[in-house]
Amino acid sequence: MARKIIPDLSGQRFGRYLVLRKDENRCDSRGRHDFYICKCDCGAIRSVKKYDLLCGTSKSCGCATKERIKAADFKHGYSRTRLYHIYQMMKYRCYNPKYSSFKEYGGRGVTVCDEWLSDPMNFIRWALNNGYDDTLSIDRIDVNGNYDPNNCRWATSKAQQRNKRKAFLIVFDGVERSFADVCDENGVSRRNAWQHWMRHKDKTKLVEYIKSHALSAS
């Protein structure tokens, strides 16, 4: 069956966003240019994924969320915001053993700081004062560290993946090394090797992949 072709979204409006043009400088993991330069009603310019526009996931640069939060009765209204959902997911990853990603977070000893854990408003205020908008996700600077104000930032998905790859360790020639360093030293594309890892989730196969491609490149 032929793939459905979605027309150019330029000129269309999605929530507070007016789509200006395609973002030719940004592409997804498959190499497709599926991002658009959008102007928010508040004047902010953002690069937004087409899927997020069409599905209604992203309707503003974050200004709408900030306005709702400022106007809300937080005892009842803030639970409907994207920020509160991020807060809940952060807790699940660290404290709910039944959550799918628990072993990579709580299972490794990653926790949420007492300041945020005791009151979600502390987390929300930190987010609003430290660059949050609806196109970004929370990212730990040190992937082995905890969720706290000194180790967290708001980043694009691309920046998050780069951070994970840099800290991802593999045993190469008997020595535990950074995945990024091993790829760079052997002339292997980090992106291709990471896609291989995501498909197989097997470090032995990943090392074999890097060695085979290093040999073919030399």
**pLDDT tens digits, one per residue of 109-154:** 899 999 999 989 899 889 989 988 888 889 888 877 899 999 999 9
Q: Provide the pLDDT confidence category of residue 218 given band limits of 50, 70 and 90.
A: very low
* pLDDT at position 1: 47
Whole-model pTM over 0.85:
no
H-helix segments, the chain: 50-55, 63-71, 82-95, 114-118, 120-129, 157-167, 179-185, 190-200, 203-217
Give mean pLDDT, residues 31-58.
Answer: 86
Q: pLDDT of 16-41, one tens digit each?
A: 999 999 888 877 656 566 899 999 99
Beta-bridge mates of residue 107? none
